[in-house]
Amino acid sequence: AQSVTQLGSHVSVSEGALVLLRCNYSSSVPPYLFWYVQYPNQGLQLLLKYTTGATLVKGINGFEAEFKKSETSFHLTKPSAHMSDAAEYFCAVSLGGADGLTFGKGTHLIIQP
Amino acid sequence: DAGVIQSPRHEVTEMGQEVTLRCKPISGHDYLFWYRQTMMRGLELLIYFNNNVPIDDSGMPEDRFSAKMPNASFSTLKIQPSEPRDSAVYFCASSYTGNTEAFFGQGTRLTVV
């Protein structure tokens, strides 16, 4: 069975600073990895995903993530935080296909002005 | 496409009452997922369908929960009888074979008093 651990339930950064949200996964087979964002009272929106190929994945709103197999990690970064980035971020893993996603507990990103 | 449509957006009901949540997936998608989101447990996969057939319902918490998909454009999640601990946000998501991304609805916020 696969699992996801997100380190830090809350992360606070200043506007313009680097955003780093950590995600580690456990999977018995090469995983598919995802980052979703959830704004208040909204559903989840896909930021980016890794399936195969290039390990550095670029997503929407300037976010990117790097798949590191040796570290079983898929950390999310953004060079410069914007106030509009304040939201809940979820890392997720699946075994491929459409067998359902296993989500981490989420990280609440707070942007300080 | 309007995306995944869930109704109602909010539901308040008394303990012991039957609750039915509804979902219309994106046209052409052959996978449909029901998730539950709570503060304590995060996002949990309850059940998913492929071509209207339930594939994995191991996440359904109790026999009080049931889900149906009578056709490709409609699914329901029913709780009978409802209990206060069922209070949560319930999300429906859909995807299609060959794609790994799940598209989420806005969710239904259920409060059982």
Q: What is the pLDDT of residues A52-74, one digit of tens each?
A: 888 999 999 999 999 999 999 99
Contact state of B106 with A42 under an 8 Å Cβ cutoff: yes
What is the spatial order of strands in the sheet that B65-71 belongs to? B5-7, B19-24, B74-79, B65-71
Do you find a cis peptide bond into A31, omega within 30 degrees of 0?
no
pLDDT per position as a tens digit, A13-37: 999 999 999 999 998 777 899 999 9
Supply B99's token pair: 């794609």
The answer to whether residue A60 neighbours chain B at the CB level (below 8 Å) is no
Task: List the single residue in B with minimal CA-CA distance to A43.
Answer: B106
Maximal C-alpha separation, chain B: 42
Which residues of chain A are within 8 Å of residue B56 when distances are taken between CB atoms?
99-100
Cα-based distances in Å from B39 to A26, A38, A82, A107: 22, 14, 26, 12
| Residues written for chain B | 113
Contact state of A100 with B43 under an 8 Å Cβ cutoff: no
Q: Which of A37, A91, A101, A107 best tests the B interface by mutation, with the highest count of B CBs <10 A?
A: A101
> Among residues of chain A, what percentage have pLDDT more than 70?
96
Supply A61's token pair: 């709103």
Binned at pLDDT 50, 70 and 90, residue B53 comes out as very high
The answer to whether residue A10 neighbours chain B at the CB level (below 8 Å) is no
Residue pair A5/A93 in contact (Cβ under 8 Å)? The answer is no
Task: List the single residue in A with minimal CA-CA distance to B47.
Answer: A100
